[in-house]
Structure 1
Amino acid sequence: MAFTQRPGAHLYWKRDGRDDGPALVLLNSIGTDMDLWDGLLPRLRDRFALLRIDARGHGASVAGAGDYSLAMLADDVFAIADDAGFDRFSVAGVSLGGMIAMEMALRAPTRIEKLMPVCTSATMDAASWDDRIATVRRDGMAAIVDLVMGRFLSDAAEPAVFQAVLRQLLAMDREGYAGCGAAIRDMALADRITGIACPTLIVTGTRDTSTPFKGHGDHLLAQIPGAAHVELEAAHLAPLEASDALADTITLFLET
Structure 2
Amino acid sequence: MLAHHTLTGPENAPVLVLGNALGTTTSLWDDFSLRFRVLRFDHRGHGLSPAVPGACSIADLAGDVVELLDHLGLRQVYYCGVSLGGMVGMWLAAHTDRVSRLALVCTTAWVPDKGRLDERISVVRGLGMEAAADAVLSRWFTPLCPPDVVARFRAELLRVDPASYLACVEAVREMDLRADLVKIDVPTVVVAAAQDQATPTELVRQIADALPDSELYVVGDAAHLAVVEAPRTISVILDDHFGNE
| Residue of structure 2 in register with 1:229 after alignment | 216
How far off its partner does 1:87 sit? Answer: 1.1
Describe the superposition over 1:206-251 as per-residue Cα deviations: whole angstroms up to 9, x where unpaired.
111111212x111101111121111113111011101111111100
Kindly report the root-mean-square deviation, in angstroms, between the aligned alpha carbons of the 2 structures. 1.2
8 A contact 1:23–1:48 mirrored in 2: yes
| Residue of structure 1 in register with 2:28 after alignment | 36
Is 2:135 the partner of 1:155? no
| Residue of structure 1 in register with 2:17 after alignment | 25
Residue of 191, 208, 214 corresponding to 2:196: 208
8 A contact 1:55–1:61 mirrored in 2: yes
How far off its partner does 1:160 sit? Answer: 1.2
Q: Report runs of 4+ in structure 1 exceeding 2 Å deviation.
A: 125-128
Describe the superposition over 1:32-86 as per-residue Cα deviations: whole angstroms up to 9, x where unpaired.
001001100xx21xx2111000011111111133221000000100111122232
| Residue of structure 2 in register with 1:67 after alignment | 55
CA distance in 2, matches of 1:19, 1:222: 35
SS at match of 2:30: helix
Q: Which amino acid aligns with 2:225?
A: L
CA distance in 2, matches of 1:67, 1:152: 25
8 A contact 1:136–1:174 mirrored in 2: yes
CA distance in 1, matches of 2:67, 2:52: 18
CA distance in 1, matches of 2:160, 2:61: 18
| Residue of structure 2 in register with 1:16 after alignment | 8
Q: Which amino acid aligns with 1:56?
A: R
Aligned residue pair count = 242
8 A contact 1:15–1:84 mirrored in 2: no
8 A contact 1:14–1:51 mirrored in 2: yes
Is 2:234 the partner of 1:242? no
| Residue of structure 2 in register with 1:119 after alignment | 106
Q: Which amino acid aligns with 1:21?
A: A
How far off its partner does 1:155 sit? Answer: 1.4
| Residue of structure 2 in register with 1:3 after alignment | none
Describe the superposition over 1:96-137 as per-residue Cα deviations: whole angstroms up to 9, x where unpaired.
0000000000110x2211111100001113333233223212
How far off its partner does 1:185 sit? Answer: 0.7
| Residue of structure 2 in register with 1:85 after alignment | 73
| Residue of structure 1 in register with 2:160 after alignment | 172
| Residue of structure 2 in register with 1:186 after alignment | 174
Q: Which amino acid aligns with 1:251?
A: D
| Residue of structure 1 in register with 2:128 after alignment | 140
Q: Which amino acid aligns with 2:23?
A: G
Describe the superposition over 1:149-175 as per-residue Cα deviations: whole angstroms up to 9, x where unpaired.
110111121121111011111222111
Unaligned runs of 5+ in 1: 1-5
CA distance in 2, matches of 1:196, 1:163: 37
Q: Which amino acid aligns with 1:176?
A: S
Q: How many percent of aligned residue pairs carry the same amino acid?
A: 35
Is 2:76 the partner of 1:101? no
Q: Which amino acid aligns with 1:13?
A: H
8 A contact 2:20–2:43 mirrored in 1: yes
